[in-house]
Structure 1
Amino acid sequence: MSDKAYAGVVLLISVAVASLLVLATQVAPSSPAFSIMAQCTLLAFTFQWLAFIPAYIMQTERYYDLTGGMSFIVITFYGLYSQTQLSITSILLAAMVLAWSARLGTFLFKRIVKDGSDNRFAEIKPNKYRFFSAWTLQGLWVVVTSGAALTVITSQQQSHLSVLTLVGALLWLIGFSLESVADWQKFQFKHDPKNKQKFIQHGLWAYSRHPNYFGEIILWFGVALAAYPALQGWQHVTLISPFFVTLLLTKISGIPLLEDKADQRWGTQQDYQAYKTKTPVLVPRFRSGSSGA
Structure 2
Amino acid sequence: MTDLAEMALVSAVVLAALQGCAALWGRLAGRWMVADVVWGLGLAAVALLGLATGSGGGVRRWVLVLVVGVWGGRLASHVWGRLRTQDHDDPRYERMAAGRSRIATALRVFGMQGVIQWVVSLPIQVSAVSGDPHGLRWAVAIFGSLVAVGGIALETVADRQLERYKRQDPRPVVMDQGLWAWSRHPNYFGDACVWTGVYLVACSTWPGVLTIISPVVMTALLIWGSGVRLTERAMADRPGYAAYQARTSAFVPRPPRRG
Same fold flag (TM > 0.5): yes
What letter is aligned with 2:101? N
SS at match of 2:32: coil
* Contact 1:97 1:146 survives alignment (8 Å): no
SS at match of 2:191: helix
* Contact 1:70 1:105 survives alignment (8 Å): yes
1:285 aligns with 2:259: no
CA distance in 2 between counterparts of 1:158 and 1:207 reads 37
Query: How far has the Cα of 1:59 moved from its partner?
Result: 2.1
1:57-100, Cα deviation, whole Å (9 max, x unpaired): 54223522222222122222222111467421221122111111
Aligned to 1:147: 122
CA distance in 1 between counterparts of 2:194 and 2:5 reads 30
CA distance in 1 between counterparts of 2:217 and 2:34 reads 23
1:127 aligns with 2:127: no
Count of residue correspondences: 253
1:246 aligns with 2:219: yes
What letter is aligned with 1:259? E
Mark the structure with the bigger radius of gyration: 1
Q: Which residues of 2 match residues 200-239 of structure 1 at below 5 A?
A: 200-232=175-207, 235-239=208-212
SS at match of 1:94: helix
1:168 aligns with 2:144: yes
After superposition, the CA RMSD in angstroms is: 2.4
Task: Structure 1: give runs of 5+ residues left out of the alignment.
Answer: 1-25
Task: Structure 2: give runs of 5+ residues left out of the alignment.
Answer: none
Name the % identity: 25
Change (3 A) 1:32 1:152: closer
Aligned to 2:74: 103
Aligned to 1:136: 111
CA distance in 1 between counterparts of 2:180 and 2:110 reads 30
* Contact 2:57 2:131 survives alignment (8 Å): no
* Contact 1:175 1:216 survives alignment (8 Å): yes
Aligned to 1:258: 231
TM-score using structure 1 length:
0.78
Aligned to 1:88: 59
